[in-house]
């Protein structure tokens, strides 16, 4: 996929994720456990570990199957994150905190609940990020951040969605061509990467033509905070006011079977972009994925910033994003950043190098 255009040139350059503590993520759940039920919810802090690996360790520590552990969303490996997991333990006693701690698990809270955690069952995430070795136009940084707080940023999927060196997207293409038959979890990752790549390409075209933050004729208009949408033939009536109030948003296709609901200018743009990637579009159709929508824009809530040092070389950013939105979509509009974690070896590579 081609590089993704920014809405505007970022005023600074910086390094992110020099250490995991530079990238704090706190999950905001839809609900809290009610204290009873056959599901044990545990709120865990993890460092430099991906969510699936931690779920497997929880299963081993509790003596249950991996399939009995669930979570609302995957979090970055190269970060310090806090999130809920649910363990299905009907008729079983709760494992002790000491037992979990001996397995290297930092459990901050735990309680029973009547239901399991399901993917997507979170309101969002609160981020606290440290940008190090900042260089550039500090004088225009405040103006940039204020504009983002007011007008938002393009809602790109982050590079994490595509795996290390884009491996998930390459895996999707191999799967679509019949060269591999991945297991259920890997297949889900590959399908997500393929849909995300097509969405990013559609959004990139809207950014290039300066229409990512406005409505087009034939737009599938998405309601704020909802997967619901309606298609408009003309941008008239109260639509411009609702758009300015962030009650509605322009949306892009999450590709699947059939045709996207957009038409006219908005629909023509989506279909033209999808035609550039026939293998991805055809593979998603054949996999039976549904046509869905994602807002083209997002606005970070409660955005604050401050310098950590007198030399103004380390910048602290804090903000909240809805579920499914990537912090790097915000960062890329603020800084031309280098991700120090991108060159860090994975645990599997480290193990291989030791043998």
Torsion, Cα 89 94 97 100, to 10 degrees, reads -40
Strands (E), 137-266: 153-154, 220-223, 229-231, 248-249, 251-254
Encoding tokens for residue 146? Answer: 């204020």
Neighbours of 87 (CB within 10 A): 25
Report which DSSP code applies to 234: S
Encoding tokens for residue 77? Answer: 């490996």
- CA Rg value for the chain: 21
Q: How far apart are CA 93 and CA 73, in angstroms?
A: 26
Catalytic one of 22, 76, 233, 247:
76
Q: What are the residues whose beta carbons fall under 8 Å from the beta carbon of 2, sequence distance 6 or more?
A: 201, 204
Report which DSSP code applies to 346: P
Encoding tokens for residue 34? Answer: 């009610």
Pairing mode, if any, of strands 12-16 and 335-339? parallel
Encoding tokens for residue 55? Answer: 């779920």
Distance of CA 252 to the CA centre of its chain: 16
- Are 316 and 307 a contacting pair, CB within 8 Å? yes
- Are 82 and 25 a contacting pair, CB within 8 Å? yes
Encoding tokens for residue 163? Answer: 């795996």
Pairing mode, if any, of strands 153-154 and 335-339? unpaired
Question: Is 76 a catalytic site residue?
Answer: yes
Q: Closest Cα to residue 322, out of 296, 293, 303, 300?
A: 300
Q: Which residues are catalytic?
A: 76
């Amino acid at each position: 996929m081609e590089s993704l255009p920014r809405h505007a040139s970022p005023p600074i350059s910086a390094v992110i994720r020099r250490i995991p503590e530079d990238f704090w993520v706190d999950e905001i759940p839809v609900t809290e456990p009610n204290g009873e039920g056959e599901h044990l919810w545990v709120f865990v802090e993890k460092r430099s570990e991906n969510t699936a690996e931690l779920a497997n360790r929880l299963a081993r520590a509790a003596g249950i199957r991996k399939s009995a552990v669930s979570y609302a969303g995957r979090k970055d490996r190269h970060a310090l994150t806090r999130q809920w997991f649910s363990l299905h333990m009907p008729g079983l006693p709760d494992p002790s905190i000491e037992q979990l701690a001996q397995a290297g698990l930092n459990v901050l809270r735990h309680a029973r609940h009547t239901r399991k955690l399901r993917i997507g069952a979170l309101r969002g995430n609160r981020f606290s990020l440290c940008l190090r070795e900042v260089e550039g136009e500090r004088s225009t940084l405040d103006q940039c951040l204020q504009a983002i707080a007011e007008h938002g940023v393009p809602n790109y999927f982050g590079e994490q969605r595509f795996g290390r060196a884009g491996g998930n997207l390459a895996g999707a293409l191999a799967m679509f061509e019949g060269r591999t038959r991945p297991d259920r979890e890997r297949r889900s990752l590959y399908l997500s990467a393929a849909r995300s790549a097509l969405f990013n390409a559609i959004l990139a075209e809207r950014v290039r033509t300066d229409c990512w933050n406005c409505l087009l004729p034939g737009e599938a208009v998405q309601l704020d905070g909802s997967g619901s949408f309606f298609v408009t033939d003309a941008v008239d009536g109260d639509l411009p006011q609702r758009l300015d109030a962030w009650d509605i948003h322009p949306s892009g296709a999450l590709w699947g079977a059939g045709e996207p609901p957009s038409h006219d200018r908005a629909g023509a743009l989506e279909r033209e972009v999808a035609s550039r990637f026939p293998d991805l579009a055809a593979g998603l159709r054949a996999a039976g994925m549904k046509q869905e929508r994602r807002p083209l824009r997002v606005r970070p809530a409660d955005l604050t910033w401050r310098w950590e040092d007198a030399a103004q070389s380390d910048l602290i950013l804090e903000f909240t994003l809805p579920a499914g939105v990537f912090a790097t979509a915000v960062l890329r509009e603020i800084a031309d950043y280098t991700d120090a974690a991108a060159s860090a070896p994975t645990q599997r590579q480290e193990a291989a190098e030791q043998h």
